[in-house]
């Protein structure tokens, strides 16, 4: 019965591509904000992929679009100040053991590994093959794209369904959840940056728009975050559900990869001792793990 209460959602953190101009705060975009423009956004991909999430008794309770919930926990409060960070090694890196299910094809596995490697290019996060460590992320193709928030202890599922979740931005998105990050539009200060139009939201999915008392790590609100929902997330009527303020023409939720601010946040949360300037330099994806 618990699954009847499951918010079968669909995640929306779309993004097409971000540009340096976006990064520098150019906010006068007037195109690309229709629901059709969001057709290939990450949020739309997640929405499609997560249609059946929560219908299988063997799946965890999934709320907030794609966040798996431990039984009994009613929301995704930030846990990063209570011990759900992944531990830092003496060399300054944070090694997160992973296992990838053999469900995937070579091509799919390659995309997932590329997503894992992308963190090493700009942060101190190092995904490393699981080798008897107690805690690890267990990447499997279950029904939809979802993850727990933060380290849960033991093997924790990160679901990347072969039907619609094997894209780099979704790999990054779900693993950012596993590292302790919530959706951008649930930030504690989100009401200064977006307006939520609950009247346009699919009935029963309102919890996806709850504000959370997040740790924002001194970073600005980021419409280009790979963790940001799209403008039409959970829309019941093709009308927007999230509108940026004060300029409602700004594109939101269209990241195709982690934004510089996403990267900065990882570096701050995990106290990465980086000499690079993750807030200014472009993402690089060709580094080794």
Q: Which is nearer to Zn ion, 46 or 272 (CB)?
A: 46
Only one of the segments 61-69, 159-167, 258-266, 271-279 lies at the binding site for Zn ion (rule: CB under 5 A); that segment is 61-69
Which residues are marked as active site?
Answer: 174
Tokens 């929902």 label which residue?
A: 229
Smallest distance, Å, CB 43 to Zn ion?
A: 9
Burial (CB < 10 A; 0-12, 13-18, 19+), residue 52, is middle
Give dist(CA 224, CA 228) in Å, integer.
Answer: 7
User: 65-104: which residues touch Zn ion (CB under 5 A)?
Assistant: 66
- Considering only residues 98-137, where is the footprint of Zn ion by CB under 5 A? none
Residue 222 contacts Zn ion per CB under 5 A: no
Say whether residue 160 binds Zn ion (CB under 5 A). Answer: no
- The piece of 30-38, 52-60, 63-71, 114-122 that touches Zn ion (CB under 5 A) is 63-71
Taking the complex as a whole, the smallest distance from the CB of residue 66 to Zn ion amounts, in Å, to: 4
Of the candidate spans 7-15, 81-89, 90-98, 136-144, the one that interacts with Zn ion by CB under 5 A turns out to be 7-15
CA dist 71 and 177 (Å) reads: 17
List helix spans (H) across the chain: 20-23, 42-49, 106-122, 168-179, 260-269
Is-contact 18 255, C-beta < 8 A?
yes
Rounded distance, CA 182 to CA 61, Å?
16
How far apart are alpha carbons 86 and 33 in whole angstroms? 37
Smallest distance from Zn ion to CB 270, Å: 19
- Closer to Zn ion at the Cβ: 193 or 228? 228
Q: Does 212 bind Zn ion (CB under 5 A)?
A: no
Interacting residue ranges for Zn ion, rule: CB under 5 A: 11, 66
């Amino acid at each position: 019965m618990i699954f009847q209460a499951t918010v079968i959602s669909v995640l929306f953190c779309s993004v097409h591509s971000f540009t340096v101009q976006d990064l520098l705060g150019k906010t006068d975009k007037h195109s690309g904000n229709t629901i059709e423009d969001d057709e290939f956004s990450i949020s739309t991909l997640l929405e499609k992929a997560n249609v059946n999430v929560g219908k299988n008794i063997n799946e965890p309770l999934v709320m907030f679009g794609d966040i798996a919930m431990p039984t009994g926990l009613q929301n995704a409060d930030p846990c990063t100040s209570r011990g759900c960070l992944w531990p830092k090694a003496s060399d300054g890196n944070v090694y997160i053991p992973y296992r990838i299910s053999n469900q995937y094809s070579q091509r799919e596995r390659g995309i997932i590994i590329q997503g894992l490697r992308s963190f090493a290019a700009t942060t101190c996060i190092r995904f490393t093959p699981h080798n008897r460590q107690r805690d690890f992320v267990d990447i499997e193709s279950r029904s939809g794209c979802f993850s727990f928030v933060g380290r849960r202890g033991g093997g924790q599922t990160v679901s990347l369904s072969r039907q619609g979740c094997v894209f780099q931005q979704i790999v990054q998105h779900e693993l950012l959840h596993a590292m302790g990050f919530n959706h951008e539009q649930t930030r504690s200060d989100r009401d200064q940056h977006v307006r939520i139009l609950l009247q346009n939201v699919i009935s029963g999915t309102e919890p996806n728009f709850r504000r959370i008392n997040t740790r924002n790590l001194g970073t600005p609100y980021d419409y280009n975050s790979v963790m940001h929902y799209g403008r039409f997330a959970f829309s019941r009527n093709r009308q927007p559900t999230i509108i940026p303020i004060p300029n409602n023409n700004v594109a939101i939720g269209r990241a195709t990869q982690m934004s510089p601010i996403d990267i900065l946040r990882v570096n701050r949360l995990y106290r990465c001792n980086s000499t690079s300037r993750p807030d200014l330099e472009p993402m690089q994806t060709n580094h080794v793990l």
